[in-house]
Structure 1
Amino acid sequence: MMAKAARAAAAWRTYREVTKPGTPGMMTRVRAIPRMIGAVTRGRYDGMGRGKLALMALGVVYILSPIDVIPDFLVLVGVADDFGVFLWLIASLLGESGRYVEHERRIIQGRLEG
């Protein structure tokens, strides 16, 4: 029961962050994800480390992998662990990509001013 509440709270925090006035919108964040990944891997964005990017990649592998810590044949519990990883991954990607978009905006603004 506690895990459900934590996942719901994480989803709510992500929703509030994405819909906060003045912050990048959902589609802006989604479109920024490939640019952010490229910038992190090339060392051009230090707002997110390669370790966190690797952890996110492991989350994708875990979701897609047929091998789970909690087997899916334990229907509700087995699917819940995948869903928890999915929520964490989405929340992390949307949060980080929003910060990356702000980073891009600061760079563009700096070029315009300088």
Structure 2
Amino acid sequence: MAKAARAAAAWRTYREVTKPGSPALMTRVRAIPRMIGAVMRGQYDGMGKGKLGLLALGVVYIVSPVDVLPDFLMLIGVADDFGVFLWLAASLLGESGRYVQHERSVIQARVEGLEQA
């Protein structure tokens, strides 16, 4: 991933997280385990198991000692890890923000259903 593309991805993530009315950063981070569980149980259709698998592969790539571009190649080897990290962070924060909004809409629907009963 080119330097400009990484910067653009980071900027898009920052703008999404700080958008008025959007879930805050820590709300998104705390929602990630709930989102993963909901996807695995089939309770959240906003993200498929395939994308969840890609995110898991991203985590494995970052923590794995085996790289496509070895880290001993100095900046080039670290840059690929950083690119994967940025993609992973942007994907997780974006998806978890949508999941928080989904949770809120489900809770709101339940409250409205109780009020009508």
TM-score range, shorter chain: over 0.9
2:116 counterpart of 1:106: no
Q: Which amino acid aligns with 1:39?
A: A
> What is the rounded CA distance, in whole Å, between the counterparts of 1:53 and 1:20 in structure 2?
25
Residue 50 of structure 2 aligns with an amino acid whose one-letter code is G
Using the TM superposition, give the Cα deviation of residue 54 of structure 1 relative to its aligned residue in structure 2, in angstroms: 0.2
Aligned residues: 113
Secondary structure at the counterpart of residue 20 of structure 2: coil
Partner of 1:52: 51
- The runs of 5 or more residues in structure 2 that have no matched partner are none
Does residue 20 of structure 1 match 2:19?
A: yes
Percent of aligned pairs with the same amino acid: 83
Structure 1 gaps, min length 5:
none
Q: Distance in 2 between matches of 1:28 and 1:71?
A: 35
Q: What are the equivalent positions in structure 2 for 1:75-86 lying under 5 Å apart? A: 75-86=74-85
Matching residue of 1:95: 94
Q: Partner residue of 2:3?
A: 4
Cα distance in 1 between the residues matched to 2:106 and 2:42: 15
Instruction: Flag the structure with larger Rg.
Output: 2
Give the aligned CA root-mean-square deviation in angstroms.
Answer: 0.7
Indicate the SS of the match to 1:23.
coil
CA distance in 1, matches of 2:63, 2:3: 21
Deviations 1:33-57 (A, max 9, x none): 0000000001000100000000000
* One-letter identity of the residue aligned with 1:58: L
Moved over 2 A (4+): none
Deviation by residue 1:24-82 (Cα, 9 ceiling, x = unmatched) = 00000000000000000010001000000000000000000000000101000000000
